[in-house]
Structure 1
Amino acid sequence: MSKWILCIRPTLFLCLASLSASVSATAAAKAAHQKLTIALDWTPNTNHVGLFAAKSTGAFARAGLDVRFVQMKQTSTTQLVGSGKAEFGISFVSDVLNARAQKIPVVSVAAIIQENTSCFAARESTGIRSVKDFEGRRYGGWGSPEEEATLRYVMKKSGADFSKLKIVTTGISDFLPTTQKNADFMWIYMGWDGVRAKLENVKLNTICLRDIDPVFNHPSPLIISSAKFARSNPEIIRKFLAAASEGYQLAINKPQEAARLFMKEVPESDSKIVLESTIFLSREYAKNTPRWGVQDVSRFEAYRTWANQQNILDLKESSKEFVDNSFLPAAENRGAGK
C-alpha cells in the first residue's frame, strides 16, 4: 500500500502544480484584458444583439477585451462617452449632432443598422393610412423638439394642416396600451414594437420615415466613442469593432443562433420577441452595403442640413469631422458567421 502511495503522491503534486499554473495563467490573461464599458441607450434589446453575441462567443475575450454593459438612467450616452466615463456608447444621429453642437467630443465609429427602421404607426382600426390622416388625431410622443419639427415638416410636405394635430406627451410609454386609450398613433421602431404587435395579432397601419423623405433615412442606431479615446487608442477600437462585426455578422447570417446567445446573456428578455426581432433586423443590419458598420457621411450631412433648417440644431461643423469608418474591419476579415 505504501508503495502505491509513494507512486501516486509525486503524480498528484505534478497535477496540482500543473492545475495551479493553468489557473494562474488564465487569471493573468483575464487581468491583462483591456476593460471597456459600453453605455447602452436603453435596456438590452436586439439593436445590441451583435454585441451580446460577441461577448457570448468569446469574440471580445479573444481580442483581449473585457467588456461591461451599463444601462443609462439619467445621463445620456453622448455625455457619458464624451466625458470619458465609458469608452463606447449606443447613440443616434440626432443625438450625435446635438452633442457636437454642444461641444461634446463624440465620434461615430459604426452604424449598427444601415437604414432608419422607425415609422409612424397606428392601429388599423383608426383608419390612419397617410400623413394627411394625422389631422384631428392625437400623436403620443416623448416631447422632443425633433418630434414636433418632424411632424410639422412631413405634414406640410403632404399638404396636411399641422395645427389640427394634437400632440400628447406620453413620455417613453408602451405603444400597444398607449394606442388603446391615450393616443391614435406613435413613432415606433418596427424591429421591436412592430414585431410585438405582430406577435400579439394587432394589425397596424404604418408610415415609415424613410419612405416619406430620404433625409430621414440615416443609419440608426450608432456605436460612438470619444474623440480623445479614438486618437489615443485606435487599435483598441479596431479590436472592439472587429469583434462586434463578428457578432453582427452572426446575427445577419444566423439570426436564430444570435437570438439564442442574446437570451443566454439577457435571460429576462422575451424570447419570442427577441427571436422574431433578430430575424427582422438580420435583413437591416448591413442592408445595401458591402459590410456591417459602414457609415455614409452624406446621409449624416443631409440630416444635419435639414435639422439646421428646421431650427432644432445649430451646427456648422461638417459630419466628416465626427463620422469615422477607419476603425472598421475590412470586408474579408469579418470573422465568424460568414
Structure 2
Amino acid sequence: MRPVEVHCHGFGDVDFSDFTRVDLDRLDQWCAGEGVLALPTMYLHRDRLGEFEAFMRLYAAKRADGLLAHIPGIALEGPLLSHRGGTPQSTVWAPSRPEWERLAELGDHGLVYTVVSPDAYSPESVLQDDPHLRESDFEWIVPTLLAHGVRPALGHFTRDDPARSAATVDAIVETAHRSEWNGTGVRVTTDHLFNDMPLNIRHAFRTDRARAQRDEVIASYDLPNWTLDNISEMAGPVPGAIIKQAVAGRISACINFDGEHVDLALATRAVQLMGPRNAMIMTDRCDSARLGGRALHHTADNALWYEENGVVAAGSHPLVRHIANAKAHGLGDEDIDFLVTRTAHRTFGIAAVERVSAAA
C-alpha cells in the first residue's frame, strides 16, 4: 500500500481549485514521482457547480479506463462552512436541496468527502442570511451524502458555544451511523484537529515571539496526564468530542504534522489518545503562491501560506516532512504506517481500488 496525501490543495504549479485547468494525467504522474496517492481538495463556487460535475465525470471516466491510479478520490472543502477561515469568501454558501442532491450524486463519480461545519446553522454562522440555509438540515444532508458514498468531514467551527458545537459533532456522527451507507470504510472524517475550532489551549506557536514562550506554555498543559476522561476539560469540548468519537471508531480524524498548523507535542499526544488506527496525517499543502484564485504569501516566521489579511490559507510541506516530524516526536514506524497509509486506505476504501488498478 502506498502513502496517502490527504487534504492537499496544490502540487507544483497546479491550483486544484482551478479544476477546469487541472491536467489529471499530469497530476497522476506527479503523484507517482513522489510515491504517494493523493486526494486533491478543492473549493467550489456556487456558479461553477456544473463545471465541477463535468470535471468529476471526466475523472470517473479516466478511472474506469484504468488511469489515474494515484488519485483514488476527489474532495471538497465546503461549501457549508460557518466561517470562511482561509477559504475564499465566494466558496462559502448553503446549497439548496437540489444542489445538495447534485453534490451527493458526485459520490458515484469519485467525490469522497466534503467539509461541512457543524456550526453552519448557529446564530454566529456567516450563512445566516443565505436564503437556502434552512431548506435542509443535517438530519437530511448527512443521509443524502452517505447514500452516494460522500463522507461529511467536520471542520470550520465557530467559537461562541463550544459545548453546543461538541454536541452537534456527536449528533452528526450518530445520524451518520443511522443512515444508509453506499460506500466502504469510515462514514465521518474531519478537517484538521485543533485548527478552526474553539480550544482551551494555545495550539500553535507561529512567530519567534510565540516560540520563545512555547516550552513554558506546553509544560503547563501537562500533556502526559491527558486522558479520555479529561480531554474535553483540558483541550476543549470540540477536540474532546472528536477524539472520543475517533477512539470509538466512528470518526477518522485528520491532524497536521507540519509543526506550524499545530504544535507537534499536541499533535503527538492527540494521536496517542485516539490511536494511530483512527487518525490520518493531512498536509493542507499548496506548492504555489496561488490558491482558489487568491494570491498568497509567506512571512519570515514560518512556511505557511497567508492571505493578504494575514489569515492562514494553507501549508506548504509535503508528506515526507510531516512523516519526519512525527518520527522526531517519538511516533514509531508502525504508528506512522497507520497515520499515512493504513488508516486512509481503510477510511476511503482505497485498498480494493488499488488492487483492481494494479490488475489492470
Flag whether TM exceeds 0.5 (same fold): no
Point out the structure with the larger helix share.
1
Structure with greater Cα Rg: 1
